[in-house]
Amino acid sequence: MTNNYSTDLASSPFNTTFRVWKALFLREAVTRITASRAAWIWLFIEPAVHIGLMMFIFTVVRVRVISGIETGIWLLIGMLAIFTYKRTATQTTNAISSNRSLFAYRQVKPVDTVLTRGYLEGYLMLLVSLLTYSTTFLLGFGMIPYDPLVLVASFAGLWLTGLGFGLIASVLTDLIPELGKIISMLNSPIYLISGVVFPIASIPDPYRSWLMINPLVHGIESARSAISPYYHPLSGLDLGYLFECAFGFVFLGLALHKRFAVTLAMK
């Protein structure tokens, strides 16, 4: 419908998009790491304090072993997994509003800001997870993962689910601001219903199968089962289900971005 000549006529649409992604990635990384005083340190401290506190409560006050692995590792994996999902989801949801002034350049599309934020958040959570996990070896309860591929796949699936959620939520909160409040409310109890702080396996059946509709449960449990062969994972665990949901979300999100591309870029 509308011809878009970029500033150098020789460049293909793909080149233009790639350049925008690169520029946005660097712009987002700079803000994320230097926005406030020592912002980069909080990226690590926030999950570490969270995990440390939960570990203290559970290991000192309550149980030592859950489903065959140590509570410390069980909690740590669950927390890192849910952080990977949640940080990606919240950061991408707010991507459009944080970059609104940059839509003055017609190369920059709303979906670009969501995708680059998702990529950055995944990268940061990879660093945070690796650093936190290696700390467990220094503290003396570290375990070499028994099935590293499943571990990586579980985290990747959770990240992708977060990205898909963000793609959908970013469109919805922009079109209907009231929905933004409801969406952030939805994401707060996710911590409790995803089996991060208490095992889903301990819940009696009609309710357990309801909780297992939540794809995050499958990602978190798969990650834990990849740590040790002695872990008894939840029956009915299905990593494929997580990926089905993730790809479904991403597809729906991209479709929404395509459908509302014009509306989103406008004021």
- For tokens 């009231």, name the residue: 178
8-state DSSP, 202 = G
Q: For another protein, which is the closer residue by CB, 9 or 139?
A: 9
Instruction: Kindly state the tokens that stand for 181.
Output: 């409040």
Q: For another protein, which is the closer residue by CB, 62 or 106?
A: 106
CA distances from 74 to 5, 107, 131, 148, 232 (A): 54, 45, 17, 16, 12
Instruction: Please identify, among the stretches 23-31, 150-158, 181-189, 205-213, the one whose residues bind another protein according to the rule CB under 8 A.
Output: 23-31
Q: For another protein, which is the closer residue by CB, 66 or 264?
A: 264
Q: How many CB atoms within 10 Å of residue 35?
A: 10
Q: Does 43 bind another protein (CB under 8 A)?
A: no
Q: For another protein, which is the closer residue by CB, 6 or 90?
A: 6
Q: Smallest distance, Å, CB 143 to another protein?
A: 41
Q: How far apart are CA 166 and CA 84, in angstroms?
A: 13
| DSSP string for 112-132 | HHHHHHHHHHHHHHHHHHHHH
| Four-point Cα dihedral 172, 175, 177, 182, nearest 10 | -20
Nearest to 135 by CA among 222, 206, 45: 45
Near another protein by CB under 8 A: residue from 60, 61, 104, 185: 104
Q: Does 1 bind another protein (CB under 8 A)?
A: yes
Q: For another protein, which is the closer residue by CB, 22 or 258?
A: 22
Enumerate residues 106-165 that contact another protein by CB under 8 A: 106-108
Site string for another protein, 57-96 (x = CB under 8 A): ----------------------------------------
Near another protein by CB under 8 A: residue from 20, 66, 73, 95: 20
Q: How far apart are CA 95 and CA 118, in angstroms?
A: 9
Q: Does 35 bind another protein (CB under 8 A)?
A: yes
Q: Smallest distance, Å, CB 166 to another protein?
A: 20
**Site for another protein (CB under 8 A): how many residues?**
34
CA distances from 245 to 42, 151, 154, 248, 250 (A): 31, 18, 13, 5, 9
Phi/psi for 207 (5° steps) reads: -75, -35
Q: Does 4 bind another protein (CB under 8 A)?
A: yes
Q: Does 8 bind another protein (CB under 8 A)?
A: yes
Instruction: Please identify, among the stretches 30-38, 114-122, 197-205, 234-242, the one whose residues bind another protein according to the rule CB under 8 A.
Output: 30-38
Positions that interact with another protein (CB under 8 A):
1-9, 11, 15-16, 19-20, 22-24, 26-27, 30-31, 35, 99, 101-108, 262, 265-266
